[in-house]
Each structure stands twice: as structure tokens, then as C-alpha cells.
Amino acid sequence: MWLLIFLVWVVIWVGGSYWYLFGKPSPFSLESVRPPGPREFDQKKRDKVIKQGFNLDKVPQNLDVIVIGSGIGGLTAGATLAKAGKRVLVLEQHDQAGGCCHTYVEKGFEFDVGLHYIGQVHENSLLRIAFDQISEGQLEFQELNQHFDTIQIGLGDEKREYTIFSGKTEMEAHLLKQFPDDTEAIKTFFKIMKVSAKKTHYLATLKLIPQWVSLFLLKSGIGNLVTPVFRLSGTCATDYVNTLTSNKDLHVIFSYLFYGVPPKDSSVLINALLIHHYKRGAYYPKGGASEIAFHIIRTIQKYGGNCLVRAPVTQILVNEKGAAYGVKVRKGQEEVEVHAPVVVSNCGIFNTLQKLLPPEIKVKPDIQERLNMMKHGRGSFLVFSGFDGTQEELGLESTNFWSFKNNDMDKSMEDFFALSKEEAPDNIPMMFITMPSAKHTLLVYQQVATPVDQHALPGCTTWSYVLSLDRFQAETLAKNTPIKNLYLSGYDVFSCGIAGALHGALLCAVLDQIVYIDLMHIKKESQRDGSAG
């Protein structure tokens, strides 16, 4: 009798697991991807897509999902849900959709506010397939020069310069030439890069299985027996690279893709993963970053959804049972309610849980516990410069420059943040220059953006929370919002950058299926059909 009950339980469990993994219709297909059409240069036609203002008559009927925020995480979640048959509305407080993927035009110059370059979009990569699906093949990417980054360390006559090349074998080989005395350190770090790239899906899995199972695997130590990524995700970058070499310049190379925290507070796995991200090339979207929002929104609209701007959400509506059921949107001097059974937030965890939840909800212990896991991120100071001349006349290159005051990133950052606001401008520890001019030329336009501006535009600071070592502890990655029917998307779910936010959207629990299985199926189908070239 007990054996029969056990066998029935096993059959039910196996059948349920199979249905969860493979039994649901895929939102993705090769057939939905078409050749890129002519680029739309008519700004009025573009504005009808990315600058469509909020009105109740533009809200689709019988909404299934409301998405707060039109960054890449919100748009990816919206497009995926729309293609899965859901009626989706994306709401954006700014006057243009795209979040940190949007651009602005001033004095005839178009500036990107967040996207500088992106990796892993080579033909038939998983990220490229995802972009193809949410834009239905309309996004195109231009590969940058193989020499995509230059790193400068020190000042004046003490300045040293190193170059980073893309390429499956060239990246490591080029670095070995520049640090011939640190062969073993570089080879070991590149092994960590490979592990990070191939095994990070184990971290993602924590978002796809019940939380009690995740925590059991982690706290029991079983997870560490399966893969080293759980240990690496919680390993301090400074401590780890100190075991590899005493060369401080090489320490900078291993952590130069700075995402808001010094190496002593960052995860070696994430630092390694960021460098690996560009191993197969650095790319830029043809037509600029706004092409990303433009084409993804058109996908959402194609399947019955919409994206509306100038729609500041003032509150997430929560019923007496503690479940989200819509939002309040400020329209002029009034607030209007828009209802949907599911709300997805892509506007930052602090905005979501501290600002948008009703007062009686946000004070609850489980909300405060979730917030206490995070710290507010640092802002950045941006300078946008426009020059009079063509790319050829000005000697513009696609290579980016990272300049560091010295080779002790931990100390220089600590010293900088201890300065007064009067001292800080003369003691900047690092600088990033993208698309620089190689020659002196006439500067005709310049504008700066402070952390205050960044807060006002995309809806949060550059990073809504610190991507510190604690943030990448496996237990933290296993968490999600404690409010029923309220889900997080994008950057808050997984990691930083365009790719990190996109993957965070694909991991969004509201999808209720593992879409990576569908993407992998398309990848294999493409390889079999030879459609990837």
C-alpha cells in the first residue's frame, strides 16, 4: 500500500515537473523573427511609439499585467508576457520610454544616457536570441573594434596604459603579453571567468524553484557540492585576486568594469562575468540605444499591449488580502486607478517597497527584512559633450577609456567618499570616457548630469542599490517580493547592466515558466537549420 502511494506520488511529481518545464506554450518562436526593416528616421513616427502620453483611453481593455518602468527589464518582461498572450500595459514616469536605454537630442546631438556597449550579442548567442525574440528580429548590432577598452592607471609621467581585446582566445593572449610575469594569475582568473559564464545559471535557478528548496540547498551545503558559483558569488574580489598576484595594476584589470562598489565589497564572480561578457566582442545597437525601446514597444503593441509615458505611478494598490491589484497614476492634478491582477515593478526595489506600497503595508516585517538586505547605490557625475565635425575629421574611435588615479581602487574610493563636497571635484578617483575624440576640436555643446538628475529622469539613481558582496550572496538572490501578485523585474532580480536587467526580466516569477528552455530550443533549432550563418 505505501509503495503504491509512493509510486503515485513520484508519477504526479514527475508529470507536474515535466508540465512545468515543457508543457506550456512557448512565447517564443523562430517564425516570429523577421529580417530587419528599414530604419525609421521620422522623429514624429518614433515619438508616437516611445513618447505616447498617458490617457485612460489608451489603456488596453481587460489588462492582465501592469509593468511599472520602461527600462530594459520592464520592456523585456512586457514583451515576453505580451507574446505569451497577456494584455500588458507599461507605465513610464519620464516623457520618453527606455529608462537607461533612452537617448535625448540637444543642439542637433543625440546622446545615450546609459548604454555604452554591450557584449554577448554575437550570432546565435542566448542574449542575441532573446533580443531577436522581444524585438522580432528588428534590432541590429554593430561590433566595435577588437581593441574595445583602454585602461589608464596613474597620473602624469607615472601613467601606465593597458589595452583589452575581444576574441575567444585573443583576450587572454593579449593580456598575457602585457603581464608576462603573471601568467598563472591570468590563466586562473580566466578559468574563473569561464566557470562564471557557464555555471551562473545555477544562481538563476534559485529564482525558478520554491524559496524553501533554494535555502535548503544553500544552507545544507549541497549547492556548493554541485557547483562553485555559490561560493564564488560570495567571495570578495580583493581577497581572491590577492591570492593570485601582488601586481596591483593587474588587480585593477580584474575589476576595472566598475559598477558602483570597490573590489573589497564586490563579488569576484560578477567581476569575472563582466569581463567575460565582452570576450566575444563589444557591440553597439545600430541607430543608438533608443532603437531598443522603439522596437520592443512595437512588439508589445503588436500583441495588444501598450507603453505610455508621462505616467508617474504614485501607489501600488493592495487589497485587504495583501495582494496587488493595480496602481494609481498621477494625471495632471488628479490620480486615476488602473487595475490588473498582476503588477510587475521595474522602477527599483527602494521605489517599489518604500515609496509605492500603501503605508500600512510597507511597515510590515517581511517588507523591512527585504529592504534591509540592500543598500542605496552611488550616483555618478556625467558629462555629455558635442563636437563640431564628422567622425573622420575628429578621429573618433569606438574604443573606450577607463582612467584610474592609482592602482589601489579600494583605498582611492574610500578616500574619495570621505571627502567633503568642496574637496571632491579635485580628487576624482576614476573616469570613464566613451566615444572620445582623438584630436583637439571645437566644443559646441556640453551638459552635465548629477545623481540628482539621474534620480529625476529614469526614476532612481544609476544603481538603485549597491551591488555589494552581500547583494550576491546566494541567499539574497533567492529572495523576491513578499506581496502577492507583485513581482520585481530587471536589475533588481539578478545583476547590473543591459544584459543583467534583461536576464532579470526573463527570470521574473510572473512568467510562471522557464523561458530559457524555450530560448535554448530556438538556439538548437537555429543551429540545426543553419539559420545562424
pLDDT digits (tens, 9 = 90+) for 16-26: 444 445 557 88
Is the pLDDT at 325 greater than 90? The verdict is yes
213-227, 239-253, 348-362: range with highest mean pLDDT: 239-253
Is the pLDDT at 182 greater than 70? The verdict is yes
387-420 tens-digit pLDDT: 887 777 777 777 899 999 999 999 999 999 899 9
45-67 tens-digit pLDDT: 999 999 999 999 999 999 999 99
| 3 state SS of 433 | strand
271-316 tens-digit pLDDT: 999 999 999 999 999 988 999 999 999 999 999 999 999 999 999 9
Enter the DSSP assignment of 257.
S
Enter the DSSP assignment of 236.
B
Cβ contact 51:96 at 8 Å: yes
Cβ contact 493:333 at 8 Å: no
Burial of 228 (0-12, 13-18, 19+ CB in 10 A): middle
Radius of gyration of the chain (CA): 23
Please give the average per-residue pLDDT across 472-501, as a whole number.
78
Helices (H), ranges, 23-71: 43-50
pTM of the model: 0.88
What is the DSSP annotation of 162-222? EEEE-STTHHHHHHHHH-GGGHHHHHHHHHHHHHHHHHTHHHHHTTTS-HHHHHHHHHTSH
Cβ contact 254:409 at 8 Å: no
CATH code of domain 47-144+283-357+483-533: 3.50.50.60
Q: How confident is the model at residue 98 (pLDDT cuts 50, 70, 90)?
A: very high
Cα–Cα distance for residue pair 495/492, rounded to 1 Å: 7
Give the list of residues 6+ apart from residue 294 with CB closer than 8 angstroms, or none.
40, 46, 49, 50
Cα–Cα distance for residue pair 186/244, rounded to 1 Å: 8
Residue with cell 512588439: 299
Q: What pLDDT sits at residue 440?
A: 43
Is the pLDDT at 217 greater than 90? The verdict is no
Cβ contact 192:269 at 8 Å: yes
Going by their DSSP bridges, the two strands 334-339 and 324-331 should be labelled as antiparallel
332-336, 438-442, 475-479: range with highest mean pLDDT: 332-336
Cα–Cα distance for residue pair 273/72, rounded to 1 Å: 20
Please give the average per-residue pLDDT across 199-218, as a whole number.
76
Please tell me which residue, 424 or 340, carries the higher pLDDT value.
340
Q: How confident is the model at residue 527 (pLDDT cuts 50, 70, 90)?
A: confident
Cα–Cα distance for residue pair 267/500, rounded to 1 Å: 15
Question: Strands, E, within 65-159: which ranges?
Answer: 65-68, 88-91, 103-106, 109-112, 118-119, 141-143, 147-153
Domain ranges across the chain: 47-144+283-357+483-533
What is the DSSP annotation of 262-281? -GGGSBHHHHHHHHHTTTT-
Q: What pLDDT sits at residue 371?
A: 78
417-473 tens-digit pLDDT: 899 989 988 898 999 888 755 434 476 667 777 665 555 444 444 445 566 667 666
Q: What pLDDT sits at residue 213?
A: 78
What is the DSSP annotation of 205-221? HTTTS-HHHHHHHHHTS
Q: What pLDDT sits at residue 453?
A: 57
Q: What pLDDT sits at residue 297?
A: 98
Q: What pLDDT sits at residue 492?
A: 79
Q: What pLDDT sits at residue 438?
A: 44
Q: How confident is the model at residue 243 (pLDDT cuts 50, 70, 90)?
A: very high
Q: What pLDDT sits at residue 3?
A: 54
Q: What pLDDT sits at residue 466?
A: 61
